[in-house]
Each structure stands twice: as structure tokens, then as C-alpha cells.
Amino acid sequence: MTLENTNVTPLGLRLIAAVKIAKGIALFGVSLGLFDLVHRDLSATALHFVQIARISPENHYVELLLVKVGLIEPKTVRLFGELSILEGTIQLVEGFGLWFGAIWAEYVVVISSGLFVPEECIALARHFTWPRVSILTVNAAIFAYVARAVWKRHLSKRSSPPIPA
């Protein structure tokens, strides 16, 4: 007699979950960096990075960058930090939900990835770039894979006989 665990998460969902968890952790790191920049002189920080990269500060594009960075207000940096925490939290919740086989997480991933496919198609139609093609391809593949898993689960529940009370 073999015991079969029917609640095992498929490898594809585990890979998607791992990527979402990694993105969530990375976004938390980004938010910490942004919060660290709130009370700093952004122009001086940007100039420091330019000097580390050994780029001439007199370069036309570097001068434009330094001017634009100087216009960023601290409340804008803080807002981006807060938004990255929010997105990081969403990614972590989706990732851990998928990792542990939560059915609701599959629905959330279908909705969240499906919402961006039309927007990415419109952006690609306006201006074709290979990075946009790759983002659209990956997002559409994730959407199709998770939607297929949800659909298969739905069909298997419909075909199984009801459990008597």
C-alpha cells in the first residue's frame, strides 16, 4: 500500500514561486536602499557613483543626469520606497502561497499576470524592443501555465464524485 500525497506542488509552480520570493526579497532590499537615500544629497551620491565608475563628470549625459537627480524630492524617494515594499510584499505572499500549494495563490498569480499581458502587448505595439518581447513572453508563459493548472484542478473537482456526509 502506497501513500500518495495529492497536495504536492508541481515543479513549475515551485519555480515560479522561487522567482517571486527572490523578487520580493530584492524589492525589500531596494526599498531599504531608497529609505537610506531619503535624507541624503542625491546629487552628491550620484556624483560619487560617477567618480567610482571613472566617468567624466563633464560628460554631457552625466551632467544631465546630475541635474535631473538634483530635482528629485525626498518625499518622492520615500514614496518609491513604500511602493517597493508594497510590491515586495505582494510578490512574497504570492511566492510563499504557491510554494506551499495554496489554491488561492494560483488564482492571484493568474489574475496578476493576466492583467499585465494586454498592457505589455499595447506597449510592444507602440514601440518594439526585444526586452519587451521577452517580458511579454515570460509573463504570458507564466499566465498560461498557472491558468492551466487552475483549470485542470477545476476539471478534476467537477469529475470526482461528491463525498457522502
At 165 the pLDDT is 62
Provide long-range contacts, Cβ within 8 A and 24+ apart, for 93-97: 94/17, 94/20, 95/16, 95/17, 95/18, 95/19, 95/20, 95/21, 95/22, 95/23, 95/24, 96/17, 96/21, 97/17
Q: Are residues 70 and 85 in the same domain?
A: yes
Q: Are residues 88 and 117 in the same domain?
A: no
At 6 the pLDDT is 55
Q: Are residues 15 and 91 in the same domain?
A: yes
Q: Are residues 20 and 82 in the same domain?
A: yes
Domain boundary among 55, 81, 99: 99
Do the Cβ atoms of 4 and 58 come closer than 8 Å? Answer: no
Q: How do residues 101-160 score in pLDDT, each as one tens digit?
A: 999 999 999 998 899 899 999 999 999 999 999 999 999 999 999 999 999 988 887 776
Q: Are residues 116 and 63 in the same domain?
A: no
User: What percent of the chain has pLDDT above 70?
Assistant: 92
**Parent domain of 133:** 102-165
47 φ/ψ angles, rounded to the nearest 5 degrees: -65, -40
Structurally, the chain folds into a number of domains equal to 2
CA torsion 67-78-23-140 (nearest 10°) is: -70
Q: Is the pLDDT of residue 161 over 70?
A: no
Confidence band of 2 (pLDDT split at 50, 70, 90): very low
Mean pLDDT for all residues in the chain: 90
Q: Are residues 78 and 119 in the same domain?
A: no
Q: Are residues 19 and 90 in the same domain?
A: yes
Task: Look up the pTM and report it.
Answer: 0.80
Q: Are residues 54 and 118 in the same domain?
A: no
At 57 the pLDDT is 86
Give the up-direction half-sphere exposure of residue 109: CA atoms within 13 A in the CB hemisphere. 34
Contacts of 10 by beta carbon, 8 Å cutoff, 6+ apart: 149
Q: Is the pLDDT of residue 31 over 60?
A: yes
